[in-house]
Chains A and B, each alone.
Chain A
Amino acid sequence: VAERGGPGPGASELARRGIAVAPALAAGQMAAVGFEGHVLSGQAFRARDAVGWLSGQAAACRREGFRGLRIAVDMSWALRPVARVEQLPDFEEGIAAAVADTPLSVLCQYDRERFDSVTLATVAAFHTRSVAAATYHADAMLRICRQYAPPGIRLAGEIDHRHAEPLALAEAIRLEGDIMVNMARLAFIDASCARMIVDAARGMAGSRAVILQCCPPIAARFVLLGAVEIPGVSVVSADDRWCLASAAA
C-alpha cells in the first residue's frame, strides 16, 4: 500500500533486491494499491474502515486458496493533513487483533526521518515485531545504523572519540556505488570522528560520489576539515536545499 496504485517506483527497488515483481503482479500474487479508497477515504481516515479493508483482503486471499498474505503499508499518509489521524493507535491496535493467530502479516513502515519519536513510541507498542535497519550502535546518546536508500550509514545523536569504534565506516565502504553518510540528526561530532569520516570519504571518493548530509553547524566542521576540497565529496543540507562541493564536482 503506497501513495499511488500500480508498481510505481517501489517495483524497481523490489526488483533490485531480487523480487520478481512483474511475474508476481501478472499472476495475481502481488498487488500494489494506493492509500485512497483503501486506507483513506476522501482524505479522511477511519481506523475501523481501514482495518476492515485489511481483514477483507485476508479473507479474499483465503477464498482464493492462498496460504497467507503479507501486506506492507507505507505509513506516510499519516503525515498529511488527514482528518481523524488521531485514530492511528486504534488502527494499529485493530491490526494487531486482526492478524493474531492468522497467516496474515502486516508491515507498517514508518520513516524515522519524518515521524516524531512520540508517535513512533505510541504505535510501536501495538506491534509484535519491529524491524529496524541493521544497527551498529544504539544507546541513549547515539544511534548508528545502515541506511538503505540512498545506500550508506545514518548517525543520530552525539558522537565523540569514545564511539569511534562503532562508527561502521568499514561497512559503508563495502557498499557499492555512491555513499551517503546521513548525519541530519547528528547534534554533535568531535574532531576525531569528523576527521575519520573525512578520511574514509577521501578513500572512497576516487571512484564514486560521497555525500555528507548534515545540519549547518556540523557541515561547518566538515568544511573546515577540507571535505569540500575533495573531488567527489559533497556536503549536503539535511533538507536537501543546498550543498557544498568542490569546484570539480
Chain B
Amino acid sequence: MTGGAWRRQPPEHRPLGSRSLGPDTGGRQPPAVLDQGFDNDSLYALREAVAAHAMQAGLAEGRVGDLVLAVHELASNAIRHGGGRGPLRIWDTGVMLRCEVTDDGAAQSAAGEAGAGAGDAARWRIDPGHGLWLVRRVADETSVQAGPSGTVAAVSFTLPPPGGLPPFQLAQRFPGRLYRIVGDGRARPQFG
C-alpha cells in the first residue's frame, strides 16, 4: 500500500484501500462531468476534452493550459510506466475541478508480486524536471493513492470565484524578470 500527499494535500481520513475516488461529498458521489478512457493513441482527444471541460468550468486561460498539462502527464505516466491505458474522470465540486487518472498497472502486476506497493512507488516517483514534478508545480492539490482497482493519481484546480480571476500573466508570476524588447533588439527591464 502506498500513496502520499504531494502538496497542500488535506488529511486523508478514508481507510486506505477503499475505492473512494471522487470528491469528498459526505458519502454522496456526484456523477463525473467527464469519464473518458485513454491510451497512447488518444492523448490528443483526451487533452481536447479536458480543455473543453476546464473552460466550461470557468478556469482562466492559463490555468486551462496548466490543467491540460497536469492531466496529460498523469495519463502519460500511466501509459508509459503503468498499465498502458486508463480512465480519466473529472468532477466539478463548484470550488475545484478534481481530475483522477486510474492506472490499473499495479493491479495487473500485483498477482505476481508480494504487493503493489513497490511497483507503485517506482511508477509514480517524482523526479525534478519530470512530468509528475511539473504536475505538482502547476496543480493546487495533488495526490496518489493505491486502491484495489489500481493507483489513482489526482489533481485539483481551484475554480475562480464568481466574477473571475484576471487572465494568466507572466508579468505577475515573474515580477522583475520580464523584459520589453525595444527597437534595437535588446531587452530592457519592463517591470522593475
Q: Which residue of A lies closest to B61 (CB)?
A: A217
Is there a chain A Cβ closer than 8 Å to B14's Cβ?
Answer: no
Instruction: Give every chain B residue within 8 A of A217 (Cβ-Cβ).
Output: 61-62, 65-66, 168
Instruction: Give every chain B residue within 8 A of A245 (Cβ-Cβ).
Output: 179, 187
Q: Which residue of B lies closest to A142 (CB)?
A: B44
Are the CB atoms of B62 and A192 closer together than 8 Å? no
Are the CB atoms of A236 and B72 closer together than 8 Å? no
Is there a chain A Cβ closer than 8 Å to B69's Cβ?
Answer: yes
Instruction: Give every chain A residue within 8 A of B137 (Cβ-Cβ).
Output: 224
Are the CB atoms of A190 and B73 closer together than 8 Å? yes
Interface centre among A141, A198, A219, A243 (most CB of B within 10 A): A243
Given contacts A160-B76, A195-B130, A243-B181, contact A220 B170 (CB under 8 A): yes
Give the interface size class of chain B: 20 to 34
Residues of A171-225 contacting chain B, CB below 8 A:
188, 190-192, 195, 198, 216-217, 219-221, 223-225
Given contacts A158-B47, A160-B76, A219-B170, contact A192 B131 (CB under 8 A): yes
Are the CB atoms of A190 and B170 closer together than 8 Å? no
Are the CB atoms of B129 and A225 closer together than 8 Å? yes
Chain A interfacial residues counted at CB < 8 A? 30
Is there a chain A Cβ closer than 8 Å to B43's Cβ?
Answer: yes
| One of A188, A195, A241, A243 near B129 (C-beta < 8 A) | A195
Q: Can you list 24 A-B pairs, Cβ within 8 angstroms, ordered by A?
A: A158-B44, A160-B72, A161-B76, A188-B47, A188-B68, A188-B72, A191-B131, A216-B62, A216-B169, A217-B66, A220-B170, A221-B134, A223-B173, A223-B174, A224-B134, A224-B137, A224-B138, A240-B181, A241-B180, A242-B170, A242-B180, A243-B178, A243-B179, A244-B174
**Further pairs besides A160-B76, A191-B129, A236-B181: 7, Cβ < 8 Å:** A192-B131, A216-B169, A217-B66, A225-B129, A234-B187, A242-B181, A243-B181
- A interface with B by C-beta (< 8 Å): 141, 158, 160-162, 188, 190-192, 195, 198, 216-217, 219-221, 223-226, 228, 234, 236, 240-245, 249
